[in-house]
Structure 1
């Protein structure tokens, strides 16, 4: 027991209480996130849409997400992290109820776009708040735990949703809305505002005489190359929630089989993710990302020959290991490349990759699946290999940029005294151990 506690302390690393409340809100939200997992199946099975039309409707969610991501980043830097999170969660809950009772495909598509706005707004605020409150040397652990919570919630959601989808699609949407409200309650009661408006630091943007803003992130070439590579990774990841359920249905598998495949990936992450930071610590981040993306390419490419549940489960193991290895370095590079006063804006540009992939993956993937059949998965695998090579080539420039941002910064504002912002840094009891809620 003592050894287990020492391992946990080493993994959690004395993270502040505010992080744990953010972590808890994320876990609650994801554990009830049923609807989007089964939206394409809902549209084809309950609303009579074709695979291509279902892909376009689900793609509307991605279009809304692009607007919501940028809006969330700007609001989180101007309005505050906490206010942005609350507005997004409350809006998402109401929209999910409206989606549950809608019947017309045009209305469903419009609501899906609005849900995309509400679901994407919290992303930049969540990550910016974590970076606000977690010391730099502990952020890799924090991001790893964030990814762990996300997938623990997904595993719970997938197991329950596979059964509920066969009984009632309406229940999926209503439980999703209830979980979103519960997450909003945790944030409202326990998460303080973490944005310190007094903190300013010397950045690359200021050094060249430009007023820092969203355009700084949109013209940062090193950062945008990383964003583009993350977009390819997101397109691969989105296959599991958009195209794979359609492929499994074409192979005669039931919704519960799809839920089992997704749950297996979540279970593997829950069991093994906490060990990943020590496993990848000796290696360069770009190398880890290249290997992890290559594994994802191999896993999805293998679906070209999958025609039964065992092969789908085996492929899921391969791409899930890739996802596990990719999560910590991807999040850490993203945080390291962002100047502190533009933290949420940079996050919003980074998070554009996910709604963009939410549109591209189903919109083009649905057509690809109809026309290419199982060869669609060979195209997906090829995209993954392109991303793997890209990470190897882009690594040196990313490392030089991080060194330029962090090396000269020795002013006190780069290492704020916790007493200046006690809400963000203090843990109950003043101890150094993690303080779960």
Structure 2
């Protein structure tokens, strides 16, 4: 019998959340640290650009999100391909190594160009680390509880974004915009690299185990999606051709388009209304906090109720929240809107990943996740560019209205084009391995 690959667990492999509870929990912790690396910027960086570097044009100020989105989107694709080719753990470690200099560059940046460089590295790091933790969790749990697994993963990541955004707001209020808020990032990078190197185990063999026991859907869907797809075929199916995969990809793009808006322009909108940095930090934290906690429930609910209408309704709820933000002018109303935006995003985020896992064959699922995340995180770049151009031309509120309309339209596309991916019936999720 051949020896297991380096870093793999020598015990017989089993699929399931309970059977892999220790490794799954460790990966949840690692993804929380990944989220913390992103959260260190949510409150502070837009204000840093405006107050320390004198950026007055919205488009210029949003360049850090633009380069972050482009870098992360491209790296997501690479992460999926490399995870299939070389294994998950090496990709995870590479992501943490790239993360180490990010907070240091933000602390010492003498010009906005250094901040741009830091966000290129942050995008590469997030693409490698977050994509890999998603893929590894899908590997471990098998087909029956993907929604719950993705809910736990995204809850940990965005819960950490929220807590870090809140903490950095208070640190910035007390000690200034630099260096105190970014010292959290130094600690997160050190912990993430250490845990990933010492304790995380390779999970690629779990995907191979699931592929070996794959049972086709009884309704005949996905029969054309056999296991031997080229990289180009995976890209085309996920991006354009396969109705559920491509619907998920466009919804993911639009979801992160409005997240890019929230990240880059909301702090400036709130500051313009006279809110303090600490109160801006509360609002910046509230949205990802509800998003994070909500995913503990929405991912599991999508395992019971299905994916399609959870996604469509979540996009429409986000659109309503953006409309409230566009018309409101005080902390209380914005807090309600931020909570609604977080709830809508919680309905969408883990459910989209679970839908990709439902449709994609285990043999090319990591690549499909990478393509989906390429489009989804490309939304950061599209959102930064669109929101910046519209805000410069017509004002911040006009940018919010524009993104609200796009988000509502995305929900319509899901409602019209996507089919229910969480199939119930013979050979389905409820009765055995299913893709």
Shorter-normalised TM range: 0.7 to 0.9
Query: Match of 1:42?
Result: 48
CA–CA distance in structure 1, aligned partners of residues 81 and 354 of structure 2:
21
The aligned counterpart of 1:183 is 192
| Gap runs ≥5 in structure 1 | 1-11, 416-437
* Contact 2:41–2:165 under 8 Å retained in 1: no
User: Given the two structures, how large is their TM-score scaled by the length of structure 2?
Assistant: 0.82
Q: CA deviation at 1:282?
A: 5.3
Task: Tell me which protein shows more helix as a share of its residues.
Answer: 1
How far off is 1:34 after superposition?
3.8
Q: 5+ residue gaps in structure 2?
A: 1-16
Q: Distance in 2 between matches of 1:381 and 1:263?
A: 20
The size of the alignment, in residue pairs, is 399
Q: State the Cα distance separating 1:69 from its structure 2 match.
A: 1.4
**2:88 corresponds to:** 81
2:233 paired with 1:216: yes
Q: 1:366 aligns with which of 388, 393, 400?
A: 388
The CA deviation at 1:58 is 2.7
Deviates more, 1:371-380 or 1:342-351: 371-380
Residue pairs, 1:35-114, within 5 angstroms:
35-37=40-42, 38-50=44-56, 51-114=58-121
Per-residue deviation, 1:173: 2.8
2:389 paired with 1:380: no
What is the CA-CA distance between 1:208 and the residue it aligns to? 8.0
Shift of residue 40 of structure 1?
2.2
Query: CA 1:123–1:347 in 2, change beyond 3 Å: closer, same or farther?
Result: farther
**In structure 1, distance between residues paired with 2:79 and 2:183:** 24
Contact 1:140 1:329 in 2 (8 A): yes
Instruction: Quickly say closer, same or farther: Cα 1:195–1:275, change in 2 above 3 A.
Output: closer
| Cα separation, partners in 2 of 1:19 and 1:347, compared to 1, 3 Å | same
Distance in 2 (alpha carbons) for counterparts of 1:297 and 1:33:
24
Q: Structure 2 vs 1, CA of residues 237 and 107 (structure 1 numbering), >3 Å: closer, same or farther?
A: closer
Q: Partners in 1 of 2:329 and 2:417 — Cα distance?
A: 37
Q: Which stretch shifts more, 76-85 or 237-246?
A: 237-246
**Match of residue 145 from structure 1:** 152
- 1:109-132, Cα deviation, whole Å (9 max, x unpaired): 233223211221123211111111
* Residue number in structure 2 paired with 1:264: 286
What's the RMSD between the two structures over aligned residues? 3.0
Q: CA deviation at 1:255?
A: 2.3
Q: How does 1:221-300 map to 2 (within 5 A)?
A: 221-222=241-242, 223-269=245-291, 272-276=294-298, 283-300=305-322
- Tell whether 2:180 aligns with 1:163: no
SS of residue in 1 equivalent to 2:203: coil
Deviation at 1:67, TM superposition (A): 2.3
CA distance in 2, matches of 1:382, 1:121: 32
